[in-house]
Amino acid sequence: MSAAALQLPKDARNVAASDDVSSISTSVSERNDSRAVDVTLRYPLRGSVGNSSYNDRYNFSVRYSLDYSSRVKQLSFDKLRLNASLATGINIVVPRWTVKVTLPEGASFDSSVPAGLVKKDGLATTVSFALTNVAPSQPFPLSLDYGYFPLWSLYRPAQWIGITAVLIGAIVLARRRRPKRGPRVEGRNVEVISSFAGLIEEELSLWTEEEELEVAFDKRSIGRKDYNRRKGVVQQRLRSVTGSLGSTKQKLRQSEPQLAGVLDRIDAAERETAAVRSEMARLRAQQRTGKLSRGILEKAQADNSGRMERARSGLESAIGELRDEVR
């Protein structure tokens, strides 16, 4: 398998795909009621060859823009409704599918059909919907009402709605709409800012890959030899990305002083993530040598999941701000 085909909404625009390394190529064609996207994988996936089953995996994401006005309606001065009909976009049955709606910062959730799991973290609110055994043509109609005070954007400009459909272990489809910015200011280090945002995205992806690898090893889904090989590759890539991030961040601090606040938040989120990853690595090592019970490890994982999610959200927000700077 060297490519993957997806069906996106008819009004999908600015389609782009990337994997854990960088951007990958796409080909977009028009259909009667959708847009077809063929994503070329960086390397082909192997199935079964003779008596050997390779079970190769490949993670990639597809990002695109959607029309905001046709999906979000204003019910009253400070009440809005999101109406969307979602689909997985791939021609296979998906065992587990999670749809996550991220409300604008400062918004309050009112109700949704169907009911979802609401999570509030400070000023951020997300609503998640879990589905199982979703067929290719099976739509997921969603209606969600929320409150949002219009003048909030004067104080907190992060006014956007994100819909993320995550296919476990396979594909991530992310949709975000951000506020319109003024004309790009000439003389900005556009390439450096774009490169820096891409490096943070790669860092986030590698952290996720590393965590998935640890979980797979603990569940004995992979052997120690495969675990050591794959972990060595991930750690090597992380060292390379970390080094590039440091030098690029230094360039931005010198040439783009107005980004100091964003860079400070990135530093804080990275420090928090490093502390959690170090703590979990220590506890995993103790558990694997019999010095710590599985129950204590799982409790620590649950306790630290909120810290990791907050740090990740902070980095994703920073990526969005950096992307806006170069649009």
Task: Please write the tens of the pLDDT for every residue from 30-43.
Answer: 877 788 888 888 87
Q: Which of 80, 155, 136, 67 minimizes the C-alpha distance to 112? A: 80
Q: Are residues 89 and 200 in the same domain?
A: no
**What's the pTM value of the predicted model, to 2 decimals?**
0.45
Longest distance between any two alpha carbons in the chain, whole Å: 65
Establish if 58 belongs to a structural domain.
Answer: yes
What residues form DSSP beta bridges with 174?
63, 164
**Average pLDDT for 140-168:** 62
Kindly state whether residue 185 falls inside one of the protein's structural domains: no
| Residue ranges making up the domain that contains 32 | 1-65
pLDDT in tens, 264-319: 888 888 888 888 888 888 888 888 888 888 888 888 888 887 788 888 888 888 88
| Tokens standing for residue 217 | 């090893």
pLDDT tens by residue, 121-135: 767 788 999 888 888
Q: How many CB atoms lie within 10 A of CB 104?
A: 22
- Give the least confident one: 9-13, 258-262, 323-327: 323-327
Structure tokens at 92: 């296979």
- In three-state secondary structure terms, 264 is helix
Among 104-108, 144-148, 162-166, 293-297, the minimum mean pLDDT is found in 162-166
pLDDT at residue 51 tops 70: no
Kindly state whether residue 79 falls inside one of the protein's structural domains.
Answer: yes
What tokens appear for 310 in the block?
A: 């907050």
Where does a domain end: 160, 180, 200?
Answer: 180
State how many domains the chain has. Answer: 3
Which amino acid is present at 138? Q
- Answer yes or no: are the C-beta atoms of 248 and 196 closer than 8 Å: yes
- Taking the C-alpha atoms of residue 37 and residue 15, their distance in angstroms, rounded to an integer, is 8
Residues 99 and 226 in one domain: no
Task: Evaluate whether residue 1 is within a structural domain.
Answer: yes
Same domain assignment for residues 80 and 157: yes
> Within this chain, do residues 82 and 160 fall inside the same structural domain, yes or no?
yes
- Considering the domain architecture, whether residues 46 and 114 belong to the same structural domain is answered as no
Q: Are 320 and 199 contained in the same domain?
A: yes
Residue 115 near residue 177, CB atoms below 8 Å: no
User: Do 54 and 151 fall into the same domain?
Assistant: no
Instruction: Looking at the structure, tell me whether residues 45 and 106 fall in a common domain.
Output: no
Question: Same structural domain for residues 221 and 266?
Answer: yes
Q: Which residue has the higher pLDDT, 251 or 159?
A: 251
Helix axis angle for 190-218 and 224-255, nearest 10°, is 160
Residue ending a domain, choose from 154, 180, 206:
180
Residue with tokens 């052997």: 223
Looking at residues 124-149, what average pLDDT do you find? 87
Question: Both 34 and 139 in a single domain?
Answer: no
Percentage above 70 pLDDT, the chain: 83
Taking the alpha carbons at both ends of the chain, their separation in whole angstroms is 35
The string of pLDDT tens digits covering residues 244-253 is 888 888 888 8
Among 235, 249, 223, 241, CA closest to 318: 249
Domain boundary among 147, 180, 213: 180
Question: Span 128-155, mean pLDDT?
Answer: 79
pLDDT on residue 192: 83
Q: In this structure, what token pair is assigned to residue 105? A: 């910062």
